[in-house]
Amino acid sequence: MQESKKKPNPIDTHVGSRVRLRRTMLGMSQEKLGEALGITFQQVQKYEKGSNRIGASRLQNISDVLNVSVSYFFEDAPGSSAGSGAGLQESGSDYVVDFLSTSEGLQLNRAFVKIADPKVRKRVIDLVRTLADGSDDGSKT
């Protein structure tokens, strides 16, 4: 007899994790996303876990509410050939998800997104790179 609990499809799990990532980046609760979509927060939870598959029209609604393109949800999806082209080659989207799952990563991202001036953003990136490069050998004084 077949087991009644089916494991979610890896693509559904990936798309759900990208929904969660974007929602948390925006500081939006599952309740608020559910309200905007006309569904319960429990349904949002199921989408984010990948236990419920997101239909095409619902995914379009989610992309509108979260202000990203539909393709965002498929970046670095399992089985995709070229990846997202986002430039992060560390370990694909897992690297980003892991980073943004930390309190520091989320705070840094939220603060960075609020910087309107592209020149200031570039200076912040340069500063972080310099600090990261210096931490390799600078801690042994």
Torsion of CA 86, 90, 96, 102, to 10 degrees: -160
Same domain membership, residue 35 and residue 56:
yes
69-116 pLDDT, tens per residue? 999 898 878 876 544 444 444 445 566 667 776 778 878 888 888 888
Find the range with the poorest average confidence among 5-19, 100-114, 118-132: 100-114
Same domain membership, residue 123 and residue 97:
no
Same domain membership, residue 108 and residue 94:
no
In which band, very low, low, confident or very high, does the pLDDT at 141 lie, cut at 50, 70 and 90? very low
The whole model's pTM is what?
Answer: 0.61
Range of the domain at 130: 103-141
Same domain membership, residue 93 and residue 39:
yes
Same domain membership, residue 35 and residue 91:
yes
Tokens of 65: 């509410």
CA distance 132 to 109: 17
Q: How many domains does the chain have?
A: 2
Same domain membership, residue 14 and residue 67:
yes
Predicted pLDDT of residue 103: 77
Same domain membership, residue 108 and residue 96:
no
